[in-house]
Structure formats: structure tokens, C-alpha cells
Amino acid sequence: MGADPMEKFMRELYSDLEMVYVGHLCLSWEFLHWEYEKALKIWESDQYGLRRFNEVAGEFQQFQVLLQRFIENEPFQGPRVENYARNRCAMRNLLQVPVIKGVHQYSSA
């Protein structure tokens, strides 16, 4: 007998969700690294310390708190992919790296 179509569908769905989860993690990591490099360039080009990053610093702090909460709760929340899917719906900003705005203002002319 062939495999149950519903069971096959659920395995494929789980596999797709796992791919989304891993892809989202990888993209978030790459974007976080890119934003870090961008922030360093802005900071290095600001000879007089005139730039303030209070707003984006708060956004990064919120990003850190959400990510830390997700990681700390993960062992108690069941399978990783299902946990990610539930939390992604509940916390829309999960793995959403904040954007450093106004970079064009800081670049040297």
C-alpha cells in the first residue's frame, strides 16, 4: 500500500516550514552582519561624534530581547520549526533585523 496522502502532505509541509525557518535565519544573520558593517563605517566616518543612534539602538535592543526570549523558551516549546511558526505569527518582528536609516546623510561626499 502507498503512504497516506495526508501524512505525505504533512511531511512535505514540515519540510517546507523547516526550509523557511533556516532561510530566514540565514538571511537575518547576513542582514545583521551587513547592518553591523554599515554602522561601523558610519561611526568611523563621524570624526566629531555628531551622529546619534538612540532610535535604532532601541530597535536593536528589542530585536535582541525577542531573539533571546525565543532561544531561551525553545527547549520548552516543542519542535523547533513548529515553535518558529507559532512565534513568527505571535511576534511579527521575530528575526526582523532593524534598519539603520539615513545612511546617505552620513556618507562622505
Q: What ranges do the domains of the chain cover?
A: 5-106
pTM strictly above 0.85: no
Q: What does each C-alpha distance from 66 to 24, 37, 45, 73, 91 come to in angstroms?
A: 15, 22, 31, 11, 8
Q: Is 35 exposed, middle or buried (0-12, 13-18, 19+ CB in 10 A)?
A: middle
Q: What is Dmax (Cα atoms) for the chain? A: 74
Alpha carbon distance 98, 103 (integer Å): 13
Q: For 33-81, how does the pLDDT look when each residue is reduced to its tens digit (9 = 90+)?
A: 888 888 888 878 877 777 777 777 788 888 888 888 888 887 888 888 8
